[in-house]
């Protein structure tokens, strides 16, 4: 969708910044960024309008031949037997991972953390542990040296949200960017949400 946007608006400069959800929220509030996309925390800021984009699940990635591939149904107990590589605490639904292990009264061996799924997959390829990452971050065509195990039954789903400053004037191309990213967030839907956010509480 980034390529589509750039082709549609060749004169608009698109800058992408990576950061924690807190950093993203701060960039929006300061005016450094027009919109923010994150899975955690954005809805905690009263000064932001946040809209759900899509729901996703985690998966587990392992090297070929790993013993977990022999499990008929993947369990948290089985995962807890191996060093785990996953997201840093503030990123990509990490809270849902912690929550699942806490409910099961298990303490996973978190060997390494990262803010990027590609880094997690690289560590798994190096044999440093098994990875827990967002399901959409596993791309079979690219990740041929890894195997993916479904884990949607183990961890609660996460929701990625888009955030905008309340009462912000959005240019037409900003509405288009949002709709390219999440087609159900049409200009009318976003405009209505922005309008309602500015109304006083009843």
Asked if residue 58 has pLDDT above 90, the reply is yes
Superfamily of chain region 2-6+15-55+159-197? Periplasmic binding protein-like II (3.40.190.10)
Question: For 150-193, what is each residue's pLDDT tens digit?
Answer: 999 999 998 899 999 988 889 999 999 999 999 999 999 999 98
- pTM greater than the 0.85 cutoff: no
Quote the percentage of the chain above a pLDDT of 90.
74
Q: How far apart are CA 167 and CA 13, in angstroms?
A: 23
Q: What is the pLDDT of residues 13-29, one digit of tens each?
A: 999 988 888 889 999 99
Band (200; pLDDT cuts 50, 70, 90): very low
| Cα separation of the two ends of the chain | 39
Average pLDDT, the chain: 90
All structural domains of the chain with their residue ranges: 2-6+15-55+159-197, 58-150
Q: Decide if 2-6+15-55+159-197 and 58-150 have a common fold.
A: yes
Pairing of strands 35-38, 158-165: antiparallel
What's the rounded mean pLDDT across residues 81-104? 88
Hey, what CATH class is 58-150 in?
alpha beta
């Amino acid at each position: 969708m980034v390529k589509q946007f750039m082709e549609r608006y060749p004169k608009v400069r698109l800058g992408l910044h990576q950061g924690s959800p807190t950093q993203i929220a701060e960039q929006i509030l300061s005016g450094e960024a027009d919109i923010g996309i994150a899975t955690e925390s954005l809805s905690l800021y009263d000064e932001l309008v946040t809209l759900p984009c899509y729901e996703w699940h985690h998966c587990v990635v392992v090297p070929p031949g790993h013993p977990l591939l022999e499990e008929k149904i993947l369990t948290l107990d089985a995962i807890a037997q191996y060093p785990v590589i996953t997201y840093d605490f503030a990123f990509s639904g990490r809270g849902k991972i912690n929550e699942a292990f806490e409910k099961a009264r298990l303490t996973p061996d978190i060997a390494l953390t990262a803010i990027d799924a590609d880094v997690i997959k690289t560590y798994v390829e190096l044999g440093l542990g098994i990875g827990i990452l967002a399901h959409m971050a596993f791309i079979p065509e690219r990740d041929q040296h890894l195997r993916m195990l479904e884990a949607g039954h183990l961890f609660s789903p996460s929701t990625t949200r888009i955030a905008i400053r309340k009462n912000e004037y959005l240019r037409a191309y900003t509405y288009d960017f949002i709709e390219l990213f999440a087609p159900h967030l049409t200009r009318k839907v976003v405009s209505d949400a922005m309008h309602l956010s500015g109304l006083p509480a009843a």
